Structure 1
């Protein structure tokens, strides 16, 4: 079963020591060990670590990328929050 994260919890994972987590749609992904493999370079992933990277992700990637790597990198889901 996957873990549920709040946006605040994801925000605590913004460096290599604590892990680099990103949010894409409602999924939470640990990209710490993907830095060297990322075709765009590690710098881009470090810039969005701890944040919602949905907009940036879909700007440069197709659905096939998430299908290929998502299952290996996904660590959980983003908790739903009440919208006021």
Structure 2
């Protein structure tokens, strides 16, 4: 069985903190944003590497969080989402 190792980084872009992780041909991008109800939401987009060299999104998830979960959500470990 092939073992894949995730490569991850966390960085700010225009004042927004993002986490990006790569595992094999998959890329996961996570960030926090304000939801319509004012609660923080964890937003996660998954994409696969296509034969054209680009990444193609295939999944988009939003999850409302409470204050403690929001603090813990972007803890520098986006590979948790990669499996």
Provide the TM-score with structure 1 as the length reference.
0.30
Structure with the bigger percentage of strand? 2
Query: When the two structures are superposed, what TM-score results if normalisation uses the length of structure 2?
Result: 0.30
Of Structure 1 and Structure 2, which has the larger fraction of its residues in helix?
1
Over alpha carbons, which structure has the higher Rg?
2
